[in-house]
Structure 1
């Protein structure tokens, strides 16, 4: 019997409150769990865990620019929904939606700590792609 439920990215941030507020107010996520230094947010079944740096849990130095990828059915529809709030962000923090050579249409949004959230929709399969069907479980 399969035991896997889901994969949930863990975002390590300097300010959990600011990051949680950004995801709720700008990107439309619900805050399902909150305690000091930690939050679990979710939208349409896609969740992210947010952990605040602190004593014994420091932010690591160096390049922390991670990209969290969320597959969506309609990236243009999502963009239209979010656009009024995305327009309040610095112009360089929002890219797309744009078609990519690997067959995705993507919207990129920079979150307060500098990480990127990518919302992507499959639009075509490149001619040189090798596709393996998923196994049934």
Structure 2
């Protein structure tokens, strides 16, 4: 579980942020759709997600809007969920099978940022 798979920044203006990363920093776009844009990098996924779509992903979180998400690739999401629950970690969603052929678990870090664990199906 020690492999960082991606970083996602939750942004107020997807259009403005994409313009910065694409046009100013020069990153190519690899995937785009439904409030999500992923850039073309070799070593890790870097993506932007429209903050307004967060309730669809992790539910309502009044007063605790996270600024970003990091994702870890794991072999067994259900085992991670059990381990994290036992440790008292706040589970936001999951484990759940996603349409993109991954089983995911979202948890909150102490500052309310999102950490995802994903298992390929």
Shorter-normalised TM range: 0.3 to 0.5
Choose between structure 1 and 2: higher strand proportion: 2
Larger radius of gyration: 1
Choose between structure 1 and 2: higher helix proportion: 2
Query: Taking CA–CA contacts closer than 8 Å with sequence separation of 6 or more, which of the two structures ends up with the larger relative contact order?
Result: 2
Give TM-score scaled by structure 1 length. 0.38
